[in-house]
Amino acid sequence: MNDRADQSLDVMKSRRVTRSFTTQQVPDELLMKIAQAGRFAASAGNLRPHRFIITRNPETIKQIRSFSPGMLGLPQAVVAILIDHDQVKRDWLSIDPSMVPYIDVGTAAQNMLNMAHALELGSCPVTSFSKSGVGRILEIPEHLTIELLIILGYPEPVDRSVNPNAPKPVTTRDLTSWERFGQHDAVEVKR
Amino acid sequence: MPEKPNHNDGDTIASAGKNSASGSVLTEDQALEMIAFLTTSAEISLQEPVHYGTLRLVDGASRLIGFMLENGVPDPDGFLTSLKADIDTKKLWSMWDKPGYFQFLRETPAQVAGEIAERSAAMTTSMEGDTHE
């Protein structure tokens, strides 16, 4: 593996959800880097049906938090990831409703979370919010829906010692099969 | 035309009951924040895992205590401060230690009941002290 791969894996492995933030503001340049990370995420058909709204106004964040029970801490910035349903209808002509735009929200979100961590920011994806409530605060037009919020800020130090009752961590091996489902160890194959 | 009932005493939505002379429990903004939190919690409970509903309720209690303390509601024995800290720590157990979290939920109402009983007894004693013949 080269250095770039090691560095990328290190960012991914060391990222954790942050729920407590300091009052230090997040510079706009960093927020722009996070938006860029979302923009360069994989997107089906290169459609890019997502839109991002970045909020730094403390009053707006407070209002968003009122409608977001999943937002346990008080962040310094919030990135909302939206889907433009008009664009999906126009450019993604599926017969049955497609989950693809939602998968694209996920790819954008993961890029953003990793970028935030690489920038030494804490982050947490939030799905527990009222779409109608937060949509009203952010003045979202009807053809868009907010699908995910990412809260951001400089992390407050927390005790991450392992809870004795915590379940055994899932390993990569647990999740991975080779060649057929349930074969958790790599076997030699003719290639 | 009948006069519209005034449910709002200045910017105070709820008064502190027997402590009302010493200030209010919630400002109007805080009450609206709680209403937003509670109605949103009800909405999102339609699609979240069932035990998240319990998490929203205890988190709501923590937020309410936070507002009460902000507004100077008396907490002479530190019960409210300690309960809020306990909720804020143990609500997160719902994600990795469900048995511990559920046990916390089972134990908490008894602690609140004990505090209410103590406050009630203190109030009775204080009223008895005020009596004169």
Which H, E and C letters describe A12-44, residue by residue? HHHCCECCCECCCCCCHHHHHHHHHHHHCCCCH
Helix, coil or strand: residue A58:
helix
Helix, coil or strand: residue A162:
coil
Which strand (E) or helix (H) includes residue A82?
strand A77-84
Give CA–CA dist A27/A18, Å, rounded: 18
Predicted confidence at residue B8, as pLDDT, reads 44
Predicted confidence at residue A94, as pLDDT, reads 84
Predicted confidence at residue A158, as pLDDT, reads 81
The distance of A69 to chain B (nearest Cα, Å) reads 6
Predicted confidence at residue B131, as pLDDT, reads 56
First vs last C-alpha separation in chain A = 21
pLDDT, chain A, mean? 94
CB A148 within 8 A of CB A125: yes
Q: Is the pLDDT of residue B133 over 70?
A: no
pTM: 0.83
| Lowest mean per-residue pLDDT among A41-50, A155-164, B38-47 | A155-164
> pLDDT of B14-50, one tens digit each?
544 444 445 689 999 999 999 999 999 999 999 999 9
> pLDDT of A93-148, one tens digit each?
888 888 999 999 999 999 999 999 999 999 999 999 999 999 999 999 999 999 99
Give CA–CA dist A133/A8, Å, rounded: 36
DSSP state string for chain B: -PPPP---BTTEEEE-GGGGGG-EEEEHHHHHHHHHHHHHHHHHTTTS-THHHHHHHHHHHHHHHHHHHHTT---TTSHHHHHHHHHHHHGGGGGT-HHHHHHHHHHHHHHHHHHHHHHHHHHHHHHHHH---
Q: Is the pLDDT of residue B1 over 50?
A: no
Chain B interface includes A69 (CB < 8 A): yes
- Residue for token digits 């929203």? B56
Who among B32, B41, B96 is closest to A69 (CB)?
Answer: B41
Whole-complex ipTM: 0.76
The distance of B96 to chain A (nearest Cα, Å) reads 5
**Best of B44, B84, B88 to disrupt the A interface by mutation (most A CBs within 10 Å)?**
B44
Q: Is the pLDDT of residue B9 over 50?
A: no
The amino acid present at A182, given as its one-letter code, is G
> pLDDT of A59-91, one tens digit each?
999 999 999 999 988 999 999 999 999 999 999
The distance of A162 to chain B (nearest Cα, Å) reads 10
Q: How many CB pairs under 8 A join A and B?
A: 45
- Eight-state DSSP code of residue A54: E
